[in-house]
Structure 1
Amino acid sequence: MLYQFNATYMDAIKPLNSWVKFVRDVNAAPWNPMKTTPVIRTLDASMELVERLTDCYDEPAWGLDTTVINGEKLAIQYNVIANKPFCNLLHFRRSKAQINQPKVLFVAPLSGHFATLLRGTIDTFLPDHDVYVTDWHNARDVPLSEGEFHFDDYVDYLVEFLELLGPDTHAIAVCQPCVPLMVATALMSARNNPAVPCSMTLMGGPIDTRINPTEVNDYASDKDLEWFESNVICTVPEQYEGAGQLVYPGFVQLSGFMSMNLDTHVQKHFKFFGDLVKGDGDNAEAHRKFYNEYLAVMDLPAHYYLDTIRKVFLEHKLPNKTMQYRGELIDLDAITQTAILTIEGELDDITGRGQTSAALDLCTKLPKSKKLHYEQKGVGHYGIFNGRRYREAIAPKIKGFIKKHAS
């Protein structure tokens, strides 16, 4: 019912969205002599706000069409090298092959936003690494005939992708997938799988959410699993390809995140309006780029979402050493070769300080020489993998760790 109501509402406001776009086109027409006047700029700013608040934000483009290596601009091709029902393994193939560059698998979060959220994260690695990413599909577009998707299926995907990439691969997980990546690495290590990653970097991940719990952690842990099943799980309506799929809708996830910092979002939109009226194009464009990405959300498979709530936030299975994969107990002590780098942000209000670095203490058989923790001062959750401090401090730290632990 909730999903159908949201779909009906979005259809109902489409005429308003189309109308304000028409008004903006008229305002910007070359024959309009009033288009640069304060009155028209104010009107246009108002219309753009309405347009953006009534728009439907689809999956953004990657926009990583080129990279520069040794002063030479090279084209990037987006090659899908594995196509699974719920995820593609995407390769950023450069037009000229580079010799002896490390293979890096970015494990993007399956938590409401598209993998393009890591655009800036990946861009920094394109000149000097062979880069791959898990490109998750919107669950509402996955036919019901493809079956369900659980936490263990996520682990299966990671193992399959790592085996496809082969030995000497380094894995980088951002936020939520830090847990399944640890499980996959422990599983592969216990089975002496030669494709086990040389290193894994865990960035802002909820390894042990009992440490410095945040508002996000409290939201998950203050309720039982039945509450989530009854209140946030929906059935995809008939107008979508995945009709009948049980999902955690992206619009529910987005409303939850925005409500936690509602004042900040409101202030940013007031500032955006002021920038448009003043003609401050740079700041206005920065706002557009951020919210075009932030407001583009996808639905999560319901079973995976509920598995994550239960295993990570309610039962704390990884730190309690009770995590299982298809009935098999996961032994983190099996991780003896894969070097681990944990990264946290001083101001992270989603994953509390210490939650990610707990991974180092859990892997008791891994030599200290293969463990490293780094905390970036002055950044929140998104600053861990995007922005100036990521480019200038965090990315070089990861690259150095990869270089040190290349097989």
Structure 2
Amino acid sequence: MRYMATYDLMETLRNTNQWLGATARTMASYPAFAAIPNPMISLMAAWGEVTERTFERMSAKPDWGIRSIACDDGKDHLVHIRTVVERPFGDLIHFDVAERDTKARKILLVAPMSGHYATLLRSTVISLIPDAEVYVTDWHNARDIPVSAGKFDIEDYTLYLMEFMREMGPDTNVIAVCQPAPLTLAATAYLAELDPDAQPRTLTLIGGPIDPDATPTDVTDFGRRVTMGQLEETMIQRVGFKSAGVGRLVYPGLLQLSSFMSMNAERHSKAFTEQIMRVSRGEASDHDAHNRFYDEYLAVMDMPAEFYLSTVERIFKNGEIARNAFVVDGHRVDIGKITDVAVKTVEGAKDDISAPGQCVAALGLCTGLPDEMKAAHLEPGAGHYGIFAGRSWRNNIRPLVLEFIDANAGTERKSSKANAA
């Protein structure tokens, strides 16, 4: 499978389906057809509109769409997205609210590199901007990164996080969502050892696989069933000639999307059928519930092959984080070195991706951290998405996280005491 031809074939199929949808929509929209009282014509136009939009989404990065925010002064303030640190595989961006006093809370939101763009956290960002200076890790699509930029595996990811934390300073409050939770924990521990003054103030881990074996799920079972050779042969391809990353080995976004869709094929099929009927009746809109969800869900990015393979092998199969045996750049990272970064874990009781027990395992690894600086929250009835972007996040988890941040904002740090001595 590691050929450009298979990558280009997938892109050709996507492009062809987009063209078919556009063609059907255009043909069925001829004014002359309006004189023919046949409902199949309106259904054809509706099918074409939904199909064109569906396949067009897969090749474009969604916009953040955060243009202004209401502040305490009762005015809407413009939001400017500024790049703070620019790197080949990802940037550190800041949502700068114009003409607003700098907020005391400074939050680094670590987005997952797991098929979707960082914009998947749009609602999370929107909920935090009024109360904090929000920074986000904005990972790049691997197909757009030239081969000359080199590799990017989980060690490189960890080093990127360390650089971002250093840039933001010691008053940073880090929130890691899902996949990056174990690597964010490792980056914090590495900083605690190498550069204590650059450690964040707090670390909140939301639904992450710190110990995947603590509570098995379909995701962990898959990681156990397949061999690394099977994954490399069936999931990895080379970027085709159309993109700047031509020749780079990646886990293609389109292949990832097919896996996502197959897990709930019946539900997705029903959703698209119902949307076609709504469009044909004139009941759909550009930003209705269906389009808001699928505009984000279908927008996928290629993942560097070495990052995907090293995640499966070292985090899931070998459990290096869970065993406190993770190595970065030849150095073993000891999570027990975290001694003055308050750590909180958040899990959803109905999370079927990172099930309860996987994330809270982080607290047991922080052997050097006092119990009063550890916290855990299990949200009843919440699934994976709900704990960082749904109703559970808005109503329950977000206030608890901000309260946790504030509770540890003024604590004197051991590293500061040591430097003073």
Aligned to 2:47: 46
1:402 to 393, 396, 405: 405
SS of 2:49's equivalent in the other structure is: helix
Question: Structure 1 pair 204/314, CA: closer, same or farther in 2 (3 Å)?
Answer: same
Query: Residue 95 of structure 2 aligns to a residue in which SS?
Result: strand
For 1:363 and 1:203, how far apart are their aligned partners in 2? 16
2:176 to 166, 173, 178: 173
Aligned to 1:3: 7
Q: Tell me the TM-score normalized by structure 1.
A: 0.93
* DSSP-derived class of the 1:379 partner: coil
Q: Which residue does 1:116 correspond to in 2?
A: 119
* Deviation larger for 235-244 or 279-288: 279-288
Structure 1 residue 353: Cα displacement: 1.3
Q: For residue 24 of structure 2, what is the aligned residue in structure 1?
A: 20
Contact 1:34 1:40 in 2 (8 A): no
Task: Report the RMSD for the aligned CA atoms in angstroms.
Answer: 2.2
Query: Residues 31-42 of structure 1: matches in 2 within 5 Å?
Result: 42=43
CA offset at residue 182 of structure 1?
0.5
The alignment partner of 1:124 has SS state of: helix
* Deviation for aligned residue 1:278: 4.8
- On the 8 A contact 1:69/1:128 being kept in 2, the answer is no
CA distance in 1, matches of 2:68, 2:37: 35
What is the DSSP-based 3-state SS (H/G/I as helix, E as strand, rest coil) of the residue aligned with 2:124?
Answer: helix
How many Å apart are 1:306 and its aligned residue?
Answer: 1.0
Q: Provide the rounded CA distance (Å) in 1 between the counterparts of 2:191 and 2:244.
A: 35
Tell whether the 8 Å contact from 2:103 to 2:131 is kept in structure 1 after alignment. no
Kept after mapping to 1: 8 A contact 2:275/2:284? no
User: 1:167–1:195: 8 Å Cα contact kept in structure 2?
Assistant: yes
Structure 2 unaligned regions, length at least 5: 411-421
1:184 to 184, 187, 195: 187
Alignment partner of 1:55: what SS?
helix
Map of 2:375 onto structure 1: 372
State the SS of the aligned residue for 1:4: helix
1:291-370 equivalences in 2 (<5 Å): 291-370=294-373
Instruction: Map 1:105-144 onto structure 2 (within 5 A).
Output: 105-144=108-147
Distance 1:124 1:66, change over 3 A: same
Per the TM alignment, residue 38 of structure 1 is displaced from its structure 2 partner at its CA by 6.5
Residue in 2 that maps onto 1:62: 64
CA distance in 2 between counterparts of 1:207 and 1:379 reads: 19
Q: Residues 87 and 136 of structure 1 are in contact (CA less than 8 Å); yes or no, is this contact kept in structure 2? A: yes
- Structure-to-structure mapping, 1:180-329, within 5 angstroms: 180-281=183-284, 285-329=288-332
Q: 1:195 offset after TM fit, Å?
A: 1.5
189-198 or 269-278, which deviates more: 269-278
Separation in structure 2 between the aligned mates of residue 99 and residue 284 of structure 1, nearest angstrom: 32
Q: What secondary structure does 1:317 align onto?
A: coil
Q: What is the Cα deviation at residue 272 of structure 1?
A: 2.3
Q: What is the count of residue pairs matched by the alignment?
A: 404
User: CA offset at residue 33 of structure 1?
Assistant: 6.7
CA distance in 2, matches of 1:32, 1:396: 55
How far off its partner does 1:251 sit?
A: 1.1
Q: Secondary structure at the match of 1:194?
A: helix
* Correspondence for 1:91: 94
The CA deviation string for residues 253-301 of structure 1, in whole angstroms up to 9 with x for no partner, is 1111111111221222233234334544479811011001000000011
User: Is residue 390 of structure 1 aligned with residue 393 of structure 2?
Assistant: yes
Q: CA deviation at 1:95?
A: 0.4
Structure 1 residue 104 corresponds to structure 2 residue 107: yes
Alpha-carbon contact 1:198-1:406 (below 8 Å) kept: yes
Deviation at 1:384, TM superposition (A): 1.3
- What's the offset of the Cα at 1:25? 5.5
Q: 1:373 to 1:279 in 2, by over 3 A?
A: farther
Instruction: Write out per-residue CA displacement over residues 156-207 of structure 1, whole angstroms, 9 at most, x where no aligned residue.
Output: 1111111111110011111100011011000011124312111111111011
Question: CA–CA distance in 2 between the matches of 1:92 and 1:104?
Answer: 11
| Residues 74 and 96, structure 1, Cα contact 8 Å, conserved in 2 | yes
Report Cα offsets for 1:323-371 as digits up to 9, x if no partner: 1111211111111111111111121111111111111111122111111
- With normalisation by structure 2, the TM-score equals 0.90
Structure 1 residues 256, 14: CA separation in 2 closer, same or farther (over 3 Å shift)?
closer
Q: Contact 1:348 / 1:379 at 8 angstroms: preserved in 2?
A: yes
Contact 2:84 2:94 (C-alpha < 8 Å) held by counterparts: yes
TM-aligned CA deviation for residue 387 of structure 1: 2.2
For residues 112-162 of structure 1, what are the alpha-carbon distances to aligned partners after superposition, in whole Å with 9 as ceiling and x for unaligned?
A: 100000000110011110010000110000011111112111111111111
Mapping for residues 137-176 of structure 1, pairs under 5 Å: 137-176=140-179
TM-superposed CA distance for 1:100, in Å, is 4.3
Instruction: Give me the whole-angstrom Cα distance separating, in 1, the residues matched to 2:55 and 2:37.
Output: 25
Alpha-carbon offset, residue 215 of structure 1: 1.0
CA distance in 2, matches of 1:229, 1:315: 17
d(CA) in 2 for partners of 1:41, 1:350: 40
